[in-house]
Amino acid sequence: MIARPWTDDLPKCRNTCVASYFSRLGGSSNSNNDDYLCFYCQTEDNSCLYGVFEPHNGLEAARFIMQRMAAEILFPSPSANNTDEEIRDRLRNAFVSVEKAYIENYDGMIAERTSLQYQLPQTMGEQQMSQYDHIVSRLKEIDQHLSGGATVVIALVHNGKLFVANVGETRALLCRTDDNAVLRVVQLTVDHSLNNEDELLRLSQLGLDVNKLRNAQYLGNQTGTRCLGNYLVKGLHKAFPAISAAAAEPVVAAPEIHGPIALDDSCRFLVLVSAGVYKRIQEARGSSEQTNKQLAQIIVENFRKQTNFKHVSQSVLEEIEEEFVSYCVKNNLTPKANTHMSLLIRNFNFLPPVDDNPIQKNPSVRFNPIVQSKSTTLLNELDSEQYSSGNEIETNDSIVDTNRSDRSVESSSDIYPARQFEKERKIKGYVDFSCYYENVAKARKNGTLPGFIK
């Protein structure tokens, strides 16, 4: 029996609900300690730390990474006197320390692998292979251990601000309202995958053929371009033909840090989610651009249906799983088994303060909001806050998902207090037409105005 992780004993944030398990494709989906790869704790000074870890090639390395990450960030716990930059450095250094500890944890195995390889002849005939079977078998076993790792998303709430760090495709989504009571879903993290042009540029600078990588959608033995652990595709990347030409390790452990993000009354809830969850939505619904919006809508609907806040994450995952299984059956597909699913929801003021009692429906809180989603490149738009990951993020006023619910804010329920309709209120124009009208006036004065313009 596997020992309970010490992170289970950390003081829990009561405004958080989680579900974490391996998908059994329609079978039992109850969480258990063996599958639990997330934490949500609160420190004595009311800082809160959240983490979701998606394993690669087994649970052993992912468990080690999860427990070490909590220790690196919490001991000593963040101080109220820490500056924003100190908090960012703490998160960044935690990833560096966890990666170093992972390598040290496997030092003996790495040395044994090197020794065994020296015992194998460079070329082996069929007659020789049998006498080296035990060495080849042990090398495969070591490689299995060395390829274990995890993608990670960490969120820290400190001094009324939110900080987020990630490697890989685990996501952090902040759901907040704009001035028109529309729920905006902002992806705070960057997906480190072969669909990320910045990551492809980095790999290109290492001397790799990114077109081949883009087509293969694999970097050695994984799809992501960043992770913690998986020494096999890092220090031993020369063993993979597609990435052997890299001048340095192509898969890195460096996180991207975002924040500080001021947590005000517009912030409704935070979502940390593993890639296995939102990719199921993508496949079943056939749209990658609207996935964040669709996930937020499922969560909002389950807030409405559930009577106990602590069960919301579980019910959301079950709904996503049921839809995915139905899609696979309908299309005669056999999906990959044992996909890890983790969903953490941190309530800010979406619902009244959460305790051990069932959800109490607040008359001033309405459900089913209009939901919009923004891309990760728009992080620094929100209230002119500065989001930084070491690089400047280009500001863009476009919205990725502009589809709206066919119910209006006024006629349907949403999660926010009713706003009084202002009949005379004007909406600020998106385009300045003053130059056009000036040219029309000049043309009319000069007698050159085209006849179709009145």
Q: Tell me, what CATH number does 169's domain have?
A: 3.60.40.10
Let me know if residue 394 belongs to a domain. Answer: no
Q: Are 255 and 91 in contact (CB under 8 A)?
A: yes
pLDDT one digit per residue (tens) for the chain, 454 residues: 456 778 888 889 999 999 988 876 544 444 444 567 999 999 888 899 999 999 998 889 999 999 999 999 999 888 888 999 999 999 999 999 999 999 999 999 999 999 998 988 877 666 667 788 889 899 999 999 999 999 999 999 999 999 999 999 999 999 998 888 888 999 999 999 999 999 999 999 999 999 999 888 889 999 999 999 999 999 999 989 999 999 999 999 999 999 999 999 999 999 999 999 999 999 999 877 899 999 999 999 999 888 899 999 999 999 999 999 999 999 998 877 778 899 999 999 887 765 554 665 543 334 444 555 555 444 444 433 333 333 332 323 333 332 333 333 222 223 323 334 444 545 455 455 666 677 778 878 887 777 667 6
Let me know if residue 425 belongs to a domain. Answer: no
Q: How do residues 253-298 score in pLDDT, each as one tens digit?
A: 999 999 999 999 999 999 999 999 999 999 999 877 899 999 999 9
- Distance, in Å, from the CA atom of 154 to the CA atom of 91, rounded to the nearest integer, reads 8
Let me know if residue 357 belongs to a domain. Answer: yes
Residue 357's domain comprises 6-384
Q: Are 80 and 49 in contact (CB under 8 A)?
A: no
- Distance, in Å, from the CA atom of 268 to the CA atom of 175, rounded to the nearest integer, reads 6
- Distance, in Å, from the CA atom of 50 to the CA atom of 277, rounded to the nearest integer, reads 18
Let me know if residue 418 belongs to a domain. Answer: no
Let me know if residue 270 belongs to a domain. Answer: yes
Between the CA of residue 300 and those of 52, 85, 166, 280, 367, what are the distances in Å? 21, 34, 25, 18, 7
Give the rounded percent of residues in the chain with a pLDDT score beyond 90: 55
Q: How do residues 90-134 score in pLDDT, each as one tens digit?
A: 999 999 999 999 999 999 999 999 999 898 887 766 666 778 888
Let me know if residue 300 belongs to a domain. Answer: yes
Predicted model pTM: 0.78
Let me know if residue 191 belongs to a domain. Answer: yes
Let me know if residue 276 belongs to a domain. Answer: yes
Asked whether the bond before 76 is cis by omega within 30 degrees of 0, the reply is: yes
Bridge partners of residue 175, in order along the sequence: 185, 269
- Distance, in Å, from the CA atom of 258 to the CA atom of 255, rounded to the nearest integer, reads 10
Between the CA of residue 112 and those of 67, 119, 135, 234, what are the distances in Å? 26, 11, 11, 17
- The total of structural domains in the chain comes to 1
253 Cα distance to chain centroid:
15
